[in-house]
Amino acid sequence: MSGRYDTCSIPILARSSSLSKDLSQISLPVGFNEPISILQRLAEDLEYAELIERTVDTEDPIHRLCLVAAFAVSGYACTRLRASRKPFNPMLGETFEDSRFNFIAEKVCHVPPVMACHASGKGWTYDSVTQAKQKFWGRSLEIIPMGTTTLRVGNDVYSWQKPSSFMRNIVAGTKYLEHVGCMIINNQTDGRRCEITFKEAGMWGNANVVNAVVFSPKGHVETKIDGKWDESLAKVVSRNQLEVLWRANDLPSHAQDYFGFTNFAMTLNEITEDLQITGEDGSTVVGYKFPLTDSRLRPDQRALEEGRVDEADEIKTIVEEKQRARRRAGKEVKPRWFKKTGNEDNEWAYAGGYWEAREEGWGKQAPLW
């Protein structure tokens, strides 16, 4: 894909009255979007889930924490070429599943926008709640994550919060993403913690540098980790020896022409044969194994992916108006797969039952679009 996909009106918006407003509350043309939803973007954080599987098989508590740190950082590798666009803001009640990790995500609150997700594998569970604000600051757009990720591996419970991300040079120059700040991973079981610093690039310094330190329950340094969030991370074994924890997968050769997507991201909109329900003739698709609320069925997003940009804009307006109409009529969709666990906006937990309902065929469904 080329041409129209490479243009972006963010510089125009930056000069408008929207400066310093929260973009999550502004309806933008599809020219600002990439053809996946925020729910699908959350699934990208699990691209390197094999790091969790290695954690399950590791007994050394220090090395386990190092692998968890590598996993937490690995979720940023997919953003290498994703500086020009933002994912679609889901409708309230919109969902996305990925059976590779028993992953289910749902938009659980509209104002403020809150997404919750749950995933699991042999010996581990993963839960994350995301509430993000987006603001313009001069030449940068800041994305401020608000929410906690919790990973349970055996008896260990790890939790962390993400640092801010910045889209640089939004008015002029080459746009790029930079993740800046501190991410602290706490092992709530044994008291260890890993402090990860995402460094801001200096005038002449390296970009995307990550340094981390693992501390004992008593606060003593046990080991260090160095690397880059878009390349690799290694544990410092000794002054002359490093142990590679993780390497980023190569980008596809045509990534620049397709929204900067990784190979993993390109699978997120696929509706493969195993997800289709066919009629008696064995070939006509009459339904899907995922619910009608799944992001893959959102028509404006699909139109953008297929290059029908003007049509995508028209459909997006219709989809958003349907949501507003439901709200005015007092028929706003209620979250189905996650339940509120506290008074804060981002306190949600998986309620269970998604995969069981999938096996039973969902029953009566009301489409969102």
Q: Which of 59-63, 217-221, 236-240, 352-356 has the lowest mean pLDDT?
A: 236-240
Q: Give the residue-averaged pLDDT of 2-19.
A: 45
User: Residue 8 — very low, low, confident or very high, per pLDDT cuts 50/70/90?
Assistant: very low
Is domain 3-271+282-344 annotated with CATH 3.40.50.300? no
With a CB cutoff of 8 Å and minimum separation 6, the contacts of 57 are: none
Q: What is the pLDDT of residue 250?
A: 97
User: Residue 235 — very low, low, confident or very high, per pLDDT cuts 50/70/90?
Assistant: very high
Token couple for 140: 């940068």
Q: Give the residue-averaged pLDDT of 308-333.
A: 95
Q: What is the pLDDT of residue 350?
A: 99
CB 95 within 8 A of CB 106: yes
Question: Looking at per-residue confidence, does 133 or 225 come out higher?
Answer: 225
With a CB cutoff of 8 Å and minimum separation 6, the contacts of 73 are: 183, 196, 210, 212, 227, 229, 233, 246
Is 301's pLDDT higher than 90? yes
User: Residue 21 — very low, low, confident or very high, per pLDDT cuts 50/70/90?
Assistant: low
Q: What is the pLDDT of residue 52?
A: 99
| CA 109 to each of CA 97, 184, 333, 335, 359: distance values in angstroms, whole numbers, following the listed order | 18, 26, 10, 8, 26
Q: What is the pLDDT of residue 7?
A: 42
| CA 155 to each of CA 70, 138, 145, 192: distance values in angstroms, whole numbers, following the listed order | 19, 46, 27, 14
Q: Specify whether the backbone of 241 is left (phi greater than 0), alpha (psi in -120 to 50) or beta.
A: beta
Q: Where are the domains positioned within the chain?
A: 3-271+282-344
Is 110's pLDDT higher than 90? yes
Is 313's pLDDT higher than 70? yes
Is 352's pLDDT higher than 90? yes
Residue type, 284: T
Q: What is the pLDDT of residue 369?
A: 94
Token look-up 């098989």 returns 57
Residue type, 15: R
Question: Looking at per-residue confidence, does 354 or 175 come out higher?
Answer: 354
With a CB cutoff of 8 Å and minimum separation 6, the contacts of 321 are: none
Mean pLDDT of the chain: 92
Taking the complete model, does pTM exceed 0.85, yes or no?
yes
What is the percentage of the chain residues whose pLDDT exceeds 90?
A: 81
Pairwise CA distance, residues 44 & 68, whole Å: 16
Classify burial at 201, counting beta carbons within 10 Å of its beta carbon; exposed 0-12, middle 13-18, buried 19 or more.
middle
Q: Give the residue-averaged pLDDT of 195-209.
A: 90
Is 10's pLDDT higher than 60? no
Q: What is the pLDDT of residue 141?
A: 87
Q: Give the residue-averaged pLDDT of 98-106.
A: 98
Q: Give the residue-averaged pLDDT of 223-248.
A: 97
Rg (CA), the chain: 21
Q: Where are the alpha helices (DSSP H) in 259-308?
A: 299-305
